[in-house]
Chain A
Amino acid sequence: MHDLAQQIVSGLAQGSIFASLALALVLIYRAMGIINFAQGELAMFTTYIAWQLVQMGLPLWLAFALTVLIAFAGGVLLERIVIRPVERANQLTVVIVSLGLFIAFNGLAGWFWGYIVKAFPTPFPTTPLQVGGVAFSAQDVGVIVVSVITLGLISLFFQKTKLGLAMRAAALYPDQSRVLGIRVGWMLALGWGLASAVGAISGIMIAPVVFLDPNMMQSVIVYAFAAAVLGGIESPVGAVVGGLVLGVVINLLGTYVDWIGNELRLAAALAIIVVVLVVRPAGLFGRVTVQRV
């Protein structure tokens, strides 16, 4: 039983990281109908920035905060410079541009920091937490706490602030928003900034576990895709629930089902993506869209 409780908590910890990255994907999908294939690589790149700041002698939490700010600014800039020119182009073009970002940032990270795997310091204590006789890793618990705070702040921002309301309006009704004086273009750029900031948090949270290397997010982004698809790719709540469910399920499958083990976890995520898209494309929380022909 203790073992099961531990596995569920570490599943929730992984799941909350998937949830953060999935939320980043959903933020951009809602705003522009784009799946940003580069989301994971942007998170990886900003995590390297955090590592660099720590190397330069900054305390970890300060480096963390600075990195999130840098990620935000970088996301805004990317939208303005790279995405805006192709925003109205067809889907293939947008997919290819986001793949371009994917490869470019993967290469830039390799260029600046090399391909040798680096250890990333954990911001959490290393002694396990004892709860009711079960030892939980403080890393896991810390990741869950940070993710909950992040998701809470994002949700407060969208529900309770004027800017959040304007961003939601711009995403849902771009033309009407423009009439009301909302700068829709800037709202989209802000969305990219927020998404890349959330992505940066997920990168910093997972780096102590998977270690820092330019390809560290490539499987994580697939889990995030699975989480977003499972929850319904338009639904922020769905992304969070999807992420947590996926984290626990994948962890339990990998631990208790022998023939899946470590290597087929990714395949399980792939299976979830395909099955959900085929059986119920709207996911758990998405709206079922009816298309007029």
Chain B
Amino acid sequence: MPRPSAGMVTRVAIAVAIVALLPLVVPSFLVFDLIYVAAYAIAILGLIILTGMNGQISLGHGAFMALGGYVVAVLAHRAGVPFWIGVPLAAIGSGIAGLLIGLVALRLAGVYLALATFSLAVATPSFLKHYKSITGGFDGLPLDPVQAPSWIPLDGQHWLYYVAWTVAGVLFLASALLVRGQFGRALRALRDNPIAAVSFGVNPYFYKTLAFGWSAVLAGVAGGFLAIPTAYVSPDTFTSALSITLLIGAVLGGISTFWGALVGGIVVEFLPLVAQQINAAAPSVVYGVALILVMMFLPDGIVGGVLRVTLRFRRPPPQPALESSTQPAAPIAVSPQPRE
């Protein structure tokens, strides 16, 4: 990856400025929603790296969010561990789980991985309900609400907003540094043509497992930030619908660029809130129809669509604005063929 272009730096600076100033102008109930946007964006970023860049379809990242959320909640509830220790521990725990599941995933190509991870997502709440002595079972666990340190003139919610978005910013930056250069090239090569990639000396086990692990780290942190704002976790927080929501966010936002994670986070937080006004079931219907239409007409999601429109009105740029968007959505790893 070349040095970040001036345009990229400008866009990032604008995004950071908006995030920093937004809580000053929006009503405080929106600040609460915006914390969730940060959490979703972090988790979706993990999915974009794993599924978008590396082609491993995961429908079960809600399980890693559950792990992260419960690590934070159990530590806080049972040992009084503050969240700024709990969240890094959640990241580590979830990352280790991700590496282990990533090792298994090496054996499952394409659609089989989707099937196994989907089953994991459906089974997650029953694990949480079963191990009652740790997780509190069906009733979930309460946490202490977050308070800002006394030297900071913010209420707990605004404090949490800045913490969540700072963490998101750091993780986006870390991910960008991680996937630029050799690591990102290896991930994409393994997605587009695994045989050629291996012939060129790319170690598929190393890179694919690491991609799984890193995306699980992100999901674990996101799960922590899903638990903290409501100061409560329960199995209902981490249903199979959550895992599917992450994929929806990635696809609608745009699965081939990091900006897609940001847009996806906004979409999955606010679209249901808007659609609920029509009917309690409307968000699902809108999501489902949107997924199908996006796949047919806008395969790079909202970000890809916006990019296509803006490029049309601009003189041909010397190089594509977003490096990763130049990659077409490519076939996922080969699976056993049904036809002879």
Contact = CB atoms under 8 A, between A and B. Distances in A.
A267 interface: yes
Interface string B56-98: 0101000000000000000000000000000000000000000
Interface residues of A, number: 63
Interface in B261-284: 279-284
Contacts, number: 169
B15 interface: no
Nearest to A105: B288
Interface string A236-273: 00000000000000000000000001011111011001
Interface string A262-293: 01111101100110011001100000010101
Given A173-B339, A222-B122, A267-B126, A91 B107 contact: no
Given A102-B288, A107-B284, A273-B115, A219 B122 contact: yes
Contacts of B112: 277, 281
B48 interface: no
A44 interface: no
Contact of A93 (B120, B279, B283, B329): B329
A86 interface: yes
Contacts of A172: 339-340
Dominant SS among interface residues on chain B: helix
A106 interface: yes
B122 A274 contact: no
A128 B287 CA distance: 45
B123 interface: yes
Given A273-B116, A281-B336, A291-B336, A92 B281 contact: no
A270 B281 contact: no
Contact of B282 (A107, A261, A266): A107
Contact of A99 (B104, B244, B281): B244
A169 to B, nearest CB: 11
Contacts of B281: 107-111, 115, 214
Contact of B339 (A33, A34, A97, A106): A33
Contacts of A90: 329-332
A82 B119 contact: no
B289 A100 contact: yes
Could you say which of B57, B59, B119, B123 has the most chain A C-beta atoms within 10 Å of its C-beta? B119
B335 A171 contact: no
A51 interface: no
A206 to B, nearest CB: 16
B291 interface: yes
A138 interface: no
Contacts of B234: none
A35 B335 CA distance: 12
Interface in B90-147: 104, 107-108, 110-112, 114-116, 118-120, 122-123, 126-127, 129-130
A269 B119 contact: yes
Contact of B247 (A34, A93, A99, A109): A99
Contacts of B284: 103-104, 106-108, 110
A100 B244 CA distance: 10
Interface string A18-39: 0000000000011111110100
A9 interface: no
Contacts of A92: 51, 55, 57, 329, 332
A35 B112 CA distance: 9
B170 interface: no
Interface string A177-209: 000000000000000000000000000000000
A101 B290 CA distance: 10
Contacts of B288: 100-107
Interface in A72-125: 82, 85-86, 89-93, 95-97, 99-111, 115
B289 A274 contact: no
B332 to A, nearest CB: 4
B116 A95 contact: no
Nearest to A103: B288
B339 A270 contact: no
A226 interface: yes
Contacts of A230: none
A265 B249 CA distance: 30
Interface string B312-340: 00000000000000000111101111111
Interface in A161-179: 171-174
Contacts of B247: 96, 99
Contacts of B289: 100, 104
A278 B291 contact: no
A107 B339 contact: no
B302 interface: no
A192 to B, nearest CB: 15
A115 B280 contact: yes
A103 B244 CA distance: 9
Given A107-B284, A108-B285, A267-B127, 9 more contacts: A86-B296, A92-B57, A95-B111, A100-B288, A108-B284, A264-B126, A265-B126, A270-B119, A282-B336
Interface of B: 51, 55, 57, 59, 104, 107-108, 110-112, 114-116, 118-120, 122-123, 126-127, 129-130, 195, 240, 244, 247-248, 251, 279-292, 295-296, 299, 329-332, 334-340
27 contacts: A33-B335, A33-B338, A34-B111, A90-B329, A91-B57, A91-B111, A92-B51, A92-B55, A92-B332, A95-B57, A96-B291, A100-B290, A100-B295, A104-B287, A104-B288, A108-B284, A110-B281, A225-B119, A265-B126, A266-B119, A270-B123, A273-B119, A281-B107, A282-B336, A289-B336, A289-B337, A293-B195
Q: Which 9 residue pairs of A and B lie closest in terms of their CB atoms, listed nearest first?
A: A104-B288, A107-B284, A110-B281, A100-B291, A107-B285, A103-B288, A111-B281, A100-B292, A289-B336
